[in-house]
Structure 1
Amino acid sequence: MEYETEQQKKRFYKSKEWQLLRREVLERDNYECQECKRNGRVYTDNHDPDKHKRLDIDHIKEIEDHPELALEIDNLEVLCVKCHNKKHNRFKFKKKENRWSEDERW
């Protein structure tokens, strides 16, 4: 299956097949971000109670490049939203420069 348009992607991610597989991956990975885990941190589904969705399921090999692996459980892992965004370079904000950093403190 090709995922050429955003509409096709949305249809895929809303499919019952994907929803069942997503739940299976969450259970397999113990509801923990695997990237945080690799870096010695623990991030579970209990963080950020104000967020509606704290954990994503990531395609290790992207479905745009490997559509045949879209539903392959070995190509999926749990990532927290922060790690998932970092992996895909989403929401990169430049650190605001402190214009007072050179001023004398007293």
Structure 2
Amino acid sequence: MPATEYKTKQQQKKFYRSGAWVAVRREVLRRDNFECQECKRQGRVYTDKHDPDKHKRLDVDHIKELEDYPELALDFENLETLCVRCHNKKHNRFMFQKKKPKWDDEWW
């Protein structure tokens, strides 16, 4: 696909549903032993057996972003396994801050 074909959400969704991506994703997960590579770098172990509540525990991440480097879309060297938490942290998604209390519990 040409570079412009991964710019929209719809184009990216089509790519991520393609047979080529599904096959490459499966191979990258196997290569990385179904372990989050960022957790591993931090001395932790996170595999697909953790977080039983999650339907999808591991993602395959494009190290160089898909929309910027479409020619690397299926390149094994540009892909790594990350747990959902590390993947979201990398992209600054779903980072919740601790809520402030609605009222001050201090008594005067």
Taking structure 1 as the reference length, the TM-score comes to 0.90
Match of 1:19 in 2: 22
Which residues of structure 1 form unaligned runs of 5+?
Answer: none
Aligned residue pairs, count: 102
Determine the structure 2 residue equivalent to 1:92. Answer: 95
Aligned match of 1:49: 52
CA distance in 1, matches of 2:56, 2:94: 17
Aligned match of 2:6 in 3, 28, 47?
3
Q: Hey, what's the Cα distance between the residues in 2 that align with 1:4 and 1:50?
A: 32
Q: Counterparts of 1:4 and 1:39 in 2: how far apart (Å)?
A: 32
Separation of aligned partners in 1, 2:94 and 2:54: 17
Cα offset for 1:5? 1.5
Residues 49-88 of structure 1: matches in 2 within 5 Å? 49-88=52-91
Structure 2: tracts of 5 or more residues without a match: none
Runs of 4 or more, structure 1, over 2 Å off, are: 97-100
- Greater Cα offset, 28-37 or 87-96: 87-96
Alpha-carbon separation, structure 2, partners of 1:69 and 1:38: 23
Offset, 1:97: 2.5
Amino acid in structure 2 at the alignment position of 1:26: L
State the one-letter code of the partner of 2:86.
Answer: C
Q: Distance in 1 between matches of 2:89 and 2:53?
A: 20
Identity %: 71
Q: Distance in 2 between matches of 1:64 and 1:95?
A: 33
Provide the TM-score with structure 2 as the length reference.
0.88
Question: How far apart, CA to CA, are the structure 2 residues paired with 1:57 and 1:83?
Answer: 11
